[in-house]
């Protein structure tokens, strides 16, 4: 009698970040995000960006091949001011957010954003409140997108302590102080999937 073998698949994910020379309009942000979707799909599937087109009949828009066959990837988009980012993954449930740092009352914001358990686990006497706020905010945004309801998701689904203890959810933040930029991703993997952190690539500054 032989046991049943489990076949594991390695997840593949990619984050593309693009900076523009000036703040984009909503229409420009949408076009830039669609361009990143095509670039990311081309890299992960080892083909050309020209092999894809956007299916706007769905909300959010989906990527498809020119022969209308589906693309086995999922996308999560975020854009702020001069930055546009796209998380692309073979995992079915993902979320991504990016934020540009601005001057705010971070102590009050953290009081509103975090519950008591999160405050106890995350806030220390020497915490940099600005850094902590953007890490927490982007992580919660990413989790909200992963669960499909944004900030309307269940508070338990947005709880950073619970998420950190869930082996099926991989959530992490990255920051680039010189750009005043923080981003976070949330990727849910299945039992049969071995998680691999997303590669992060920057596209050089572009004029509109």
CA atoms within 13 A on the CB side of 142: 30
Please tell me the distance from the alpha carbon of residue 200 to that of residue 203, in angstroms, as a whole number. 10
Is there a contact between 89 and 13 (Cβ–Cβ < 8 Å)?
A: yes
The two structure tokens encoding residue 186: 């949330």
Helix extents (H) in the chain: 26-45, 106-113, 116-122, 129-147, 160-165
Domain assignment present for 4: no
Closest Cα to residue 132, out of 151, 117, 110? Answer: 110
Please tell me the distance from the alpha carbon of residue 194 to that of residue 11, in angstroms, as a whole number. 6
Is there a contact between 23 and 82 (Cβ–Cβ < 8 Å)?
A: yes
pLDDT, position 68 = 85
Domain assignment present for 1: no
pLDDT, position 206 = 67
Beta strand pairing status for 93-100 and 52-55?
A: unpaired
CATH number at residue 191: 3.90.470.20
**pLDDT, tens digit only, all 208 positions of the chain:** 444 444 445 678 999 999 999 999 999 999 999 999 999 999 999 999 999 998 877 777 789 999 888 899 999 999 999 999 999 999 989 999 999 999 999 999 999 999 999 999 999 999 999 999 999 999 999 999 999 999 999 999 999 999 999 999 999 999 999 999 999 999 998 766 678 899 999 997 666 5
Number of domains in the chain: 1
Domain assignment present for 137: yes
Beta strand pairing status for 199-206 and 93-100?
A: unpaired
Domain assignment present for 3: no
Q: Is 81 helix (H, G, I), strand (E, B) or coil?
A: coil
pLDDT, position 1 = 43
Entry pTM: 0.91
Domain assignment present for 2: no
Domain assignment present for 151: yes
Domain assignment present for 183: yes
pLDDT, position 6 = 45
Residue 83's domain comprises 10-206
């Amino acid at each position: 009698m032989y046991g049943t073998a489990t076949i594991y698949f390695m997840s593949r994910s990619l984050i593309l970040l693009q900076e523009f020379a000036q703040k984009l309009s909503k229409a420009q942000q949408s076009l830039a995000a669609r361009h990143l979707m095509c670039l990311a799909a081309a890299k992960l599937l080892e083909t050309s960006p020209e092999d894809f087109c956007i299916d706007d009949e769905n909300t959010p828009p989906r990527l498809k091949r020119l022969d209308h066959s589906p693309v086995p990837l999922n996308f999560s988009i975020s854009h702020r001011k001069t930055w546009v980012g796209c998380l692309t993954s073979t995992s079915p449930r993902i979320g991504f957010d990016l934020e540009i740092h601005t001057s705010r009352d971070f102590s009050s914001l953290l009081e509103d954003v975090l519950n008591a358990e999160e405050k106890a686990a995350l806030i220390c006497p020497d915490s940099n409140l600005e850094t902590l706020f953007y890490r927490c905010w982007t992580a919660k945004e990413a989790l909200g997108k992963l669960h499909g309801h944004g900030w309307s998701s269940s508070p338990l689904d947005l709880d950073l302590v619970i998420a950190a203890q869930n082996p099926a959810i991989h959530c992490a933040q990255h920051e680039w102080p010189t750009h005043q930029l923080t981003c976070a991703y949330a990727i849910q993997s299945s039992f049969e999937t071995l998680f691999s952190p997303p590669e992060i690539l920057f596209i050089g500054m572009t004029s509109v």
